[in-house]
Amino acid sequence: MKIKVMAVLLLLTSLTFVSLATASPKHRYDYTSKSCRDLTNPQLEWASRPWGEGGKLFREVCKKCHSRDNSEGAKFLHVESKTSKGWNRVFAQHKVKCAKDGQWESMTLDQQLKLNDYLYRFAAYSQDKNDSA
């Protein structure tokens, strides 16, 4: 009986560590620039602040149209509207209306990368609720 209990506890402990290791992504492969982006480097100015430049761009550029009850008819978006992979697809394929109609042209490629980094990092299911960092 004790061996079964220990085996179950060991299994639960290992599952906990696996889920913690997969939460809060540390890197992102960018299909546009074909590069790996480090999302944790404290030396990067945009990564060292809670919102960073990507968060600022999301609030200033995206939320202009994608806020609740907007007059643009744009779908309401928040960071968790898509998963990390979903946000990567949005930026890699440019199939969304605002990318097609030229609204993204107000941002440089570097700004788009930082915006994608931000959205990828804080997307749905990317955070560990028990992580205080």
Q: What is the pLDDT along the chain (133 residues), one digit of tens a residue?
A: 788 766 666 766 665 554 444 456 788 888 888 888 887 765 555 555 556 888 999 999 999 899 998 888 889 999 999 999 999 999 999 889 888 888 899 999 989 998 999 899 888 887 766 554 4
pLDDT at 132: 46
pLDDT at 130: 57
What is the pTM (predicted TM-score) of this model?
0.70
Q: How far apart are CA 53 and CA 38, in angstroms?
A: 15
107 neighbors 115 (Cβ within 8 angstroms): yes
Q: How far apart are CA 51 and CA 97, in angstroms?
A: 25
Residue written as tokens 């480097």? 41
pLDDT at 51: 64
Stated as kind and residue range, the H or E segment containing 45 is: none
Which residues touch 82 (CB under 8 Å, ≥6 apart)? Answer: 90, 119, 123, 124
Q: How far apart are CA 18 and CA 29, in angstroms?
A: 21
